[in-house]
Structure 1
């Protein structure tokens, strides 16, 4: 099964280059003219390779939760701190920028010029067209979600022609739907080459976009079609090691998993994953660029299936990491855990004490900038020991973009919103929970659409934590009063644990002894216009027909 994107940046650069004209990044200039290159199937395939160079950004996956209540980014230049705390503005350069049309420009050129090539197989030509339409749909979907309506551009000859207004959000959504509906039947069920989009990828984008837009019937249909392909399943856990399959997914040994529908593949030579290094805490030489928060810890159920606030749960606020859903340990590096450093030393993670053995603690949150300010670190993708990554700044870690657990969760959410509780919803949720070593859903407690919705949202958050879903989810979900969830969870103070590490304790989950106090990480604000990002001012200045999003 081919499910990876592997891009040769050298090959891609030789085929296409960024325009010298900055105008909206919409004016196409091919490095090689169509008259001399669009002759054979081989030419088309080379240009298709070029299209893959910018179609999807796995950095967004790693950072996006920092724009939510479960993640935090401390470094301004990385673009997500202001999205998380509401400090965005059109003139602030330290805000993640998705307003780049270079990739779309290349897709337009490909789709126009492929019609000039004679193919020996119509199916091969259709598959290529389907791949590029899927890429274009993804690019517009990402822009439409973050900015609302954006221009649906053509391959303009001049900068003057490119001065076009924004299409409405609804118009862009319909364009995305049309692209995907046309692409899906064109695509091979399994990619004919490594690095190419297959039908499962396009269906995953169809499912995700429909769910985000609240088109639940369409989302459910796409999820069912993914399952019917018969290509994907959850990575199983061993009987004696709960969540081992879940943990394996994000490590090198899990890169061939049937659960992965699509991942961005990195090697240590051509296209290494340097971002993994930024995820490590300071003592390991990392930057703590994106880290989880106490809010996420609070969401995990206890091993008995009760939330921490329910009577009889067994939750002890002095030991918040003890007896929790096994996915927490597979997702979060918390104080008290054993850890094998990049130097090969077994240590106890300590992000609570200012000093250790009379020396300054390099992971003290109140210390140096590269220490996690929440006192927590993502565990996903972080291998341990000196030999796991030969060089963590040039790692061969693959970033998962679409996996089957999302399919199950999306089906459960869409089905519940359409029809309320039913067996198929419980089956989908239990499949995920059983893999993690968690008990089945209590049908008595979660027997209504409203109570089951609460569980589905919690299950989605903890299962997909650190994978870039939470920001969007809290923008699209509403509480029982019709209020956008982000208005509740992103207004207030972001805090971290205070306490000490008891090195005499033999149970790692109980070594962290947390006091009743917490320390402030930052104050956060969310107002209604923060639903969308501001279009960067530079593009407004270049195109007089662009209208800025309200509030900016």
Structure 2
């Protein structure tokens, strides 16, 4: 099935959708009933496509780092600002609509009614069941991770029947594990059409969920199984650069062997409007989600030392110089070369309030749509006015799973189970070599604790801007057993101040830092581990207990 057909089918399926606005509503009177639609394999295929509609939210993937120390969202209506600064409440739920159970209802209906259809090929039927079980498992995983226990629902006929209490987080986790373990052997093990679930996708969900819950042996086994499929590998770079890493997030990289699953977009049928919201103000964007200086500080120098270890090689007045090449491929920083909307070659300037006597449209203290951190994500942003015909209707696919995550997850799980070993170093070295970085220093990182520190840093910079950091700082503990979020999300979020020297030829040295300015105060309390249950759902279902602290 071609991608464009797949997207079109999702759009047209809304007329057949038997689910409801949320899991408390009954089937609409104008929807087609199971008795009239579940007759043929074609019926089953249509309903399976309906389960795909919105099953993963690439908005969460793009915005989620704003709920961490390495990202920031300024616009209140987008909701992520509250998650980042600890201002969450049950009444502020714009971003938390993924609590709804629409897709799970679709999956329940599909799995119930598919038994009415006679298939000529049992493998085809099982593959479809496996896809839908995987979708349902992901939906429960996302909800369970964010909220800490949600109802495991059936297909209800009335709103009263749907008023059920939350299951425990452990009960939902075990349900997720069971769904995936049943689904994986049913699925195709080979390559499939982009955006479609195969064993690699289901194994990636198994791997991520197990890693997040600290079930390291299960996570390691899933990572190994993905590698053994032989379908995926890192997008290669030319020697000493991060070219392959950068290519991944551009339209040229959409067929990369590194991508396990990406949300498919098409300019005409299902465009990616969020690309426009990522650009800075001078380029006509909203700066809706931006990186922070905290992320810059995490990158190693290009010689493999951290900035704290580098001595004079790190100059705090020129913090963008001599860094891991992935920084430039991930962050648009002041001093970088850029091509503006008019096709002109310019130098990014988010430090000076005026440029050539005119107000700087990218001044962080100026208009709302200027990046308040002075930084912009480089991932997914094409350089120049013609890269996307319309950046608000872009054909950019959002990567949800890629092979680098598999290597990093294997390294973390294996180290937690067994400590340093050659297979861990090998996994990390593949990623570092692709970026143009040196291999891991085995003498320096020779204990579980020191290697854990490196793995966490590698995971942060490799996956920056892809929605992992919030979950990581919630699950990672410090030496005292406290969530890392309790340290990195308490205090002041700041941006650098200074000036840009256009006469300097080295982009990393053009920005001269003279100080910092406050962006916002941030607070993280232990109960912020979970989001509040949106009040609108508790109003419909009084049996939904609120998470403590809200």
TM-score, length of structure 1 as denominator length: 0.97
Residue of structure 2 equivalent to 1:437 = 436
Q: Does 1:469 align with 2:468?
A: yes
Bigger mean CA offset, 89-98 vs 255-264: 89-98
Alignment of 1:339-418 (within 5 A): 339-418=338-417
User: What is the CA distance between 1:25 and its match in structure 2?
Assistant: 4.3
Residue of structure 1 equivalent to 2:531 = 533
Alignment of 1:443-458 (within 5 A): 443-458=442-457
Instruction: Give the Cα separation in 2 of the matches to 1:10 and 1:97.
Output: 20
Residue of structure 2 equivalent to 1:285 = 284
Instruction: Give the Cα separation in 2 of the matches to 1:433 and 1:323.
Output: 16
Across the two proteins, how many residue pairs are aligned to each other? 548
User: What is the CA distance between 1:507 and its match in structure 2?
Assistant: 1.0
Alignment of 1:214-233 (within 5 A): 214-233=214-233
Query: Residues 195 and 456 from structure 1, CA distance in 2 versus in 1: closer, same or farther, beyond 3 angstroms?
Result: closer
User: What is the CA distance between 1:93 and its match in structure 2?
Assistant: 3.6
Which deviations, in whole Å up to 9, do the C-alpha atoms of 1:245-291 show, x marking residues without a partner?
00000000000000000001111100001100000000000000000
- SS of the equivalent of 2:112 reads helix
Query: Residues 4 and 255 from structure 1, CA distance in 2 versus in 1: closer, same or farther, beyond 3 angstroms?
Result: farther
Query: Residues 4 and 225 from structure 1, CA distance in 2 versus in 1: closer, same or farther, beyond 3 angstroms?
Result: farther
Query: Residues 71 and 3 from structure 1, CA distance in 2 versus in 1: closer, same or farther, beyond 3 angstroms?
Result: farther
Instruction: Give the Cα separation in 1 of the matches to 2:133 and 2:387.
Output: 38
User: What is the CA distance between 1:18 and its match in structure 2?
Assistant: 5.6
Which deviations, in whole Å up to 9, do the C-alpha atoms of 1:13-52 show, x marking residues without a partner?
12216636x5x44645582211111111111101111111
CA contact (8 A) 2:195 2:261 kept: no
Query: Residues 333 and 193 from structure 1, CA distance in 2 versus in 1: closer, same or farther, beyond 3 angstroms?
Result: closer
Residue of structure 1 equivalent to 2:274 = 275
User: What is the CA distance between 1:6 and its match in structure 2?
Assistant: 4.7
User: What is the CA distance between 1:193 and its match in structure 2?
Assistant: 4.3
Alignment of 1:112-127 (within 5 A): 112-127=112-127
Q: Does 1:337 align with 2:336?
A: yes
Which deviations, in whole Å up to 9, do the C-alpha atoms of 1:209-251 show, x marking residues without a partner?
0000000000000000000000000000012x50000000000
Residue of structure 2 equivalent to 1:165 = 165
CA contact (8 A) 2:280 2:371 kept: yes
Gaps of 5+ in 1: none
Query: Residues 425 and 5 from structure 1, CA distance in 2 versus in 1: closer, same or farther, beyond 3 angstroms?
Result: farther
Bigger mean CA offset, 187-196 vs 77-86: 187-196
Which deviations, in whole Å up to 9, do the C-alpha atoms of 1:119-162 show, x marking residues without a partner?
01000000000000000000000000000110000001111110
Instruction: Give the Cα separation in 2 of the matches to 1:247 and 1:351.
Output: 22
User: What is the CA distance between 1:506 and its match in structure 2?
Assistant: 1.1
- SS of the equivalent of 1:98 reads helix
Which deviations, in whole Å up to 9, do the C-alpha atoms of 1:464-505 show, x marking residues without a partner?
000000000000000111111000000000000111001111
User: What is the CA distance between 1:97 and its match in structure 2?
Assistant: 2.8
Instruction: Give the Cα separation in 1 of the matches to 2:89 and 2:293.
Output: 27
Instruction: Give the Cα separation in 2 of the matches to 1:2 and 1:198.
Output: 15
Instruction: Give the Cα separation in 2 of the matches to 1:6 and 1:57.
Output: 17
- SS of the equivalent of 2:206 reads helix
CA contact (8 A) 2:67 2:81 kept: yes
Residue of structure 2 equivalent to 1:511 = 510
Instruction: Give the Cα separation in 1 of the matches to 2:17 and 2:415.
Output: 46
CA contact (8 A) 2:163 2:542 kept: yes
User: What is the CA distance between 1:539 and its match in structure 2?
Assistant: 1.0
Q: Does 1:34 align with 2:27?
A: no
Residue of structure 2 equivalent to 1:153 = 153
CA contact (8 A) 1:279 1:377 kept: yes
CA contact (8 A) 2:96 2:534 kept: no
Instruction: Give the Cα separation in 2 of the matches to 1:313 and 1:462.
Output: 23
CA contact (8 A) 1:337 1:509 kept: yes
- SS of the equivalent of 2:14 reads helix
Residue of structure 2 equivalent to 1:294 = 293
Which deviations, in whole Å up to 9, do the C-alpha atoms of 1:72-123 show, x marking residues without a partner?
0000111200000000011224443321101100000000000000001000
CA contact (8 A) 2:24 2:540 kept: no
CA contact (8 A) 2:190 2:229 kept: no
CA contact (8 A) 1:5 1:263 kept: no
Instruction: Give the Cα separation in 2 of the matches to 1:498 and 1:217.
Output: 46
CA contact (8 A) 1:334 1:376 kept: yes
User: What is the CA distance between 1:544 and its match in structure 2?
Assistant: 1.4
Residue of structure 2 equivalent to 1:177 = 177
Residue of structure 1 equivalent to 2:198 = 198
Alignment of 1:473-552 (within 5 A): 473-515=472-514, 517-552=515-550
CA contact (8 A) 2:491 2:523 kept: yes
Residue of structure 1 equivalent to 2:247 = 248
Instruction: Give the Cα separation in 1 of the matches to 2:516 and 2:352.
Output: 13
Residue of structure 2 equivalent to 1:84 = 84
CA contact (8 A) 2:301 2:310 kept: no
CA contact (8 A) 1:4 1:264 kept: no
Instruction: Give the Cα separation in 2 of the matches to 1:132 and 1:5.
Output: 19
Alignment of 1:92-131 (within 5 A): 92-131=92-131
CA contact (8 A) 1:7 1:49 kept: no
- SS of the equivalent of 1:521 reads strand
Q: Root-mean-square deviation (CA), in Å?
A: 1.6
User: What is the CA distance between 1:312 and its match in structure 2?
Assistant: 4.0
Query: Residues 184 and 84 from structure 1, CA distance in 2 versus in 1: closer, same or farther, beyond 3 angstroms?
Result: same
Bigger mean CA offset, 537-546 vs 73-82: 537-546
Query: Residues 3 and 415 from structure 1, CA distance in 2 versus in 1: closer, same or farther, beyond 3 angstroms?
Result: farther
User: What is the CA distance between 1:341 and its match in structure 2?
Assistant: 1.2
CA contact (8 A) 1:28 1:155 kept: no
Query: Residues 26 and 209 from structure 1, CA distance in 2 versus in 1: closer, same or farther, beyond 3 angstroms?
Result: farther
User: What is the CA distance between 1:541 and its match in structure 2?
Assistant: 1.3
Which deviations, in whole Å up to 9, do the C-alpha atoms of 1:297-356 show, x marking residues without a partner?
000000100000114461011110000000000000000011011220111100000000
